[in-house]
Amino acid sequence: MQYIFWRQWSDLKRHVNSLGIFVVGDLPIYPAHDSVDVWEGQPYFKLAPDGTPLYLSGVPPDYFSPASQLWGTPVYDWGALRRGGYLWWTRRLRRLLEVFDYIRLDHFRGYVAYWEVPHGEETAVNGRWAPGPGEELFKAVEDLLPRLIAEDLGFITTDVVELRRRLGLPGMRVLQFAWDGNPANEHKPHNYERNLVAYTGTHDNNTLLGWWRDEATPRARREALAYMGGCRGAANWRFIRLLFSTVVAVVPIQDVLGLGAEARINKPATRRGNWKWRLHAQPPPTYARRLRRLAKLYGR
């Protein structure tokens, strides 16, 4: 099955590249404990002699989960990776850049400092910050930097921002996070720097309409409407138009189709009911024409 999948994927990627379309993939910072990555690279993870994780990954309380998130995957032994010249990591990056044209580096802040939780804890609250590899890792793959995007969301400190800028990597902004009443909010489009990729929402967010109907506060809705200059048309298309007028824009297909919370992909800090939604049919061409008009209007 894997052989057939990769053969089909290679054919698809070759075809879309011939049309001038590039594919952006995702690199989760941690592989699962039962993955071939951990099995093959055991010396590079904090594991006991029997293979049990000594520490698990996660994040302290944040926007997505006030109770913290315990991801449950083993964390890296960055000292061992450094002694190995980061070869295990560079092989991983180079392989994925055969599969995709660009990579979004999940949890970029974890390369500066990451949250590790002693094995056996039921939440991530009792974790601690530990130093990551920082610039040293990326210097080992300097030729790949133009093809990387940093997912710099969550608890972002000055050193994380400085590392991203030194490396020249685009960061991320999410339109759903913009409406807190603060004009200096970095997710508001007028505060975007040029080297960014902006999203209506990510795989961890509700859909635009799900957020608009069920999660956005009345104040947030008023602020967003005032920012966009009124309430004509469907809410999802007003946000898409705003995003297209800024930097590099990514719009999930659920937001293009105007789907609600039933089409949400993932809810952080939950273990059930995620990654179930699928697009089962080709959307009508009216959606493509509408996106094309916006792309032409804003010179994309």
Distance of CA 221 to the CA centre of its chain: 25
Select from 258, 232, 244 the least CA-distant residue to 291.
244
Which residues carry out catalysis?
Answer: 106, 151, 204
| Rounded CA separation 38/152 (Å) | 25
Select from 145, 149, 161 the least CA-distant residue to 199.
149
Which token pair is 138? Answer: 């990326």
Neighbouring CB atoms inside 10 A of 299's CB total: 7
Tell the residue number behind the tokens 């130093």, with chain if given.
131
| Rounded CA separation 176/180 (Å) | 10
Select from 270, 275, 265 the least CA-distant residue to 202.
265
Please, what sign has the CA dihedral across residues 277, 279, 283, 288? positive
Select from 300, 24, 31 the least CA-distant residue to 172.
24
User: What is the bridge-based pairing of β-strands 24-27 and 55-59?
Assistant: unpaired
| Rounded CA separation 89/97 (Å) | 13
Tell the residue number behind the tokens 């104040």, with chain if given.
219
